[in-house]
Every structure is written in C-alpha cells, then in structure tokens.
Amino acid sequence: MLKLYDSPECPFCQKTRIVLAEKDLSVDIVPVDLQAGEQKRPEFLKLNPFGKVPVLIDDEMIVYDSTIINEYLEDEYPHPPLLPPDSAARARVRTFEDYADNAFIPVTGIIMNELKKPEAERDREKLANARQQVQRMLAVIDGSLAGRSWLAGAAFSLADVAFAPRVVILGALGVELDPEWKNVAGWIQRLNQRASIHDLAGLEAWRR
C-alpha cells in the first residue's frame, strides 16, 4: 500500500494526488498540518529533511518532492503513461513542469495569500501585479498550445498536471482570460473534464 504524507491545499501535494488518481492507485493519506508545523517535527524530518510535503512511501522506499514522486510513480506504475515516449517530448514536459513549479505556482500563491486576508488588509498593488504576471504567462502558454490539445502534444502529461491545481481556479483568483486565448480556454475546459482534477480535494473554497 502506498502512503502519502499530504496537505490538501498544497499545490504540490495536489500534483501528486492527480497522478495517483490518473493511475487509479490506492493510497493511504496521512494528513500533515502545515499551520501547526507538523512538517518540522523530528519524525517527519526523518522522512524528508527539507520539512516539506508531499512525501510518498512505497513499501520501504521513501520519495519526496512532487516532481520526483511523480516520475517515480511513472516508472513504477507506467499505465496509463503520463510521459511521452521520445526524449524531445519528455524534455518539453519537464521544461513546462519546471515553469509551473518555479514561476506559475508561486505567483498564483501570492494572489491566494492576499485574497485570504480581509478585503481592507489586501495589498491591491501586489494583487494587480501578480495577476498581470499570471496573464503574461498564460499568453505564453496559449502560444505553446497552438495545434496541441495538451502541453506536450496529443496526450495529457505531467506538464498539464503541474499547472492544473491553479489553472482551474483562475476565475476565483480574479485572473481574467483574454478572449483571444482560445487555446488556453479549451485546455482549461479539458482539464476540468478529467475526474482526477474535477474531484481534486483542497480546491473546494476556490471553485466557482
């Protein structure tokens, strides 16, 4: 039995739960209360010395970092495949996943943190700047989706997984889609049609 140390609202945990759902894998979820600092307790640091979720345990194997976990799951449980067979397409997937993890997710996180504050306490300039950054990224993604159903081509992949937790709640974050971004609009619609994403725990408060 797989065991996942998880925090429902963490987008990196959500990434891994999407993959587990896509591969129809049974998993024992162990909740980690980040607000209470459970990820910094000695027993957790034995699993991941960086004190971050998610952490996956598969028998005696301990894997941490969502990207590494998802590639491990791809290697161990290859069906259905979430990485394309050729090296060029795999590089494309990994490039998009890096873009999601290190650019898109952090900026959308800024928006979410501001929106959680009482309205009078929100930094409107920070919100506006973050939304503009997200829109610039979406314009790039729209171009990358030209002639493609998914970021890596014809098949849903780990690249799409990486963006999904935040892309599907852009409306709730106050990020407007340019009407010309038809590729992005279609992509988001396809993401929402996947059960692994439509039923993703941790997004309830943000879904509209």
Positions marked active-site: 10
Phi and psi at 199, nearest 5°, equal -100, 15
* Structure letter (DSSP) for residue 102: I
Tokens describing residue 1: 């039995």
Please give the single-letter amino acid code of residue 167.
V
3 state DSSP class of 155: coil
Q: Which residues contact 2 (CB under 8 A, 6 or more apart)?
A: 20, 25, 26, 27, 28, 56, 57, 58
Q: Which of 78, 76, 87, 99 is nearest to 160 (CA)?
A: 99
Rounded to whole angstroms, the Cα distance separating 20 from 113 reads 27
CA distance 197 to 179: 24
Which of 206, 170, 162 has the alpha carbon at shortest distance from 188?
A: 170
Tell me the one-letter amino acid at 51. G
